[in-house]
Amino acid sequence: MIKNRLCREYLTEIDRLERSIVELEEQITELKMQLRLKVDEANGLSIENASLRHKLELMNRRERALLRLLKSINAPFVFVDEERFEDVDVDLGPDSKE
């Protein structure tokens, strides 16, 4: 009788441990999936960042080339400080006499 009771307790404990192992394996699988998603997201952001840096560099090159061109042809031009510039609403439509 004691033997049966001890074995039953061991079997119950073994069953509980097996369920815990299965739950831990499921959690590990879920965490691996989350890690893959985060790595994919980080890679996507890195690619987007590189692309935007490249576009910015191209825009800066174009701006410098345009300024060199304008200086070489001695055309008058005005630089506008965008931070001080105010937006002004101008009505360019025909005047109505109504």
Q: Determine the 3-state secondary structure of 33 from DSSP.
A: helix
- Residue 70's identity, in one-letter code, is L
Higher pLDDT: 41 or 82? It is 41
pTM: 0.54
Q: State how far the Cα of 48 lies from the Cα of 55, in Å rounded to an integer.
A: 10
pLDDT at residue 25, as a whole number: 98
Look up residue 38 and give its two tokens. 């985060």
pLDDT in tens, 47-85: 999 999 999 999 999 999 988 988 898 877 777 777 777
Provide, for the chain, the percentages of residues in helix, strand and coil under a 3-state DSSP scheme, each rounded to the nearest 5: 70, 0, 30
Q: State how far the Cα of 96 lies from the Cα of 79, in Å rounded to an integer.
A: 35
